Chain A
């Protein structure tokens, strides 16, 4: 069962590492809020994310990326709120990492 992992906290808390540990091959990760800092070019979290198997899709909430002036790295798809909702329906379950 594919899971959409929803991240909202800074990647410099332990949440990102824990979420990545629980990731299955068909899962995806959606970055919102401060979690978007994980996608900052040249950052340690992004380096780690780029080593994930290619089957794992990465999404980011567009307005949170824009607000933080973070450019979109390769393999990351930007979503708006309607697409956010569509994603949460597309996956069997959503794991919100609070």
Chain B
């Protein structure tokens, strides 16, 4: 049995390579049919904010790449509800359909996976 892996995104798309690296892991894992889950936590929720304009900063559009996740079989997307609320974002206005979780559900989520990578 392939080991399941939870990737925890804690960084905004603007703060270095973490967001893109995590996405690369997810897409690579998805391509090999690994059971992958992604959790957007803390500033990681900014990866899901809509209508960002990375071209203004000569950066690539991470949001466009995130749309590839379902194509690679990565459908288990979760977001920390508290992180969203603190940053003024709404769970029903995100770039990807991620399920918002409360604190108790977060701990249960981590429990469920064989491996966890936090970036």
Q: Which residues of A contact B (CB under 8 A)?
A: 1, 3, 14-15, 18, 21-24, 92-98
Query: Which B-chain residue is minimally distant from A24 (CB atoms)?
Result: B107
Count A-B pairs with CB separation below 8 Å. Answer: 41
Residue numbers in A under 8 Å from B113 (CB-CB)? 1, 93
13 A–B contact pairs at CB < 8 A?
A: A1-B112, A1-B113, A3-B116, A21-B80, A21-B106, A21-B107, A22-B107, A22-B110, A24-B107, A24-B108, A93-B113, A96-B117, A96-B118
Do A93 and B116 touch (CB < 8 A)?
yes
Interface residues of chain B: helix, strand, loop or mixed (majority): mixed
Please state if A18 and B119 are interface contacts (CB–CB under 8 Å).
Answer: no
Tally B residues with Cβ within 8 Å of A.
20
In Å, the complex CA distance between A83 and B26 comes to: 32
Docked Cα-Cα span, A54 to B4, in Å, equals: 29
Besides A3-B110, A93-B116, A94-B116, 6 more A-B contacts (Cβ < 8 Å) are A1-B114, A21-B80, A21-B103, A24-B111, A93-B114, A98-B119
B10 CB within 8 Å of chain A? yes
CB-defined contacts of A97 to chain B, threshold 8 Å? 118
Q: A18-B41, A21-B106 are in contact. Are A3 and B111 (CB under 8 A)?
A: yes
The CA-CA distance from A91 to B56 in the complex, in Å, is 45
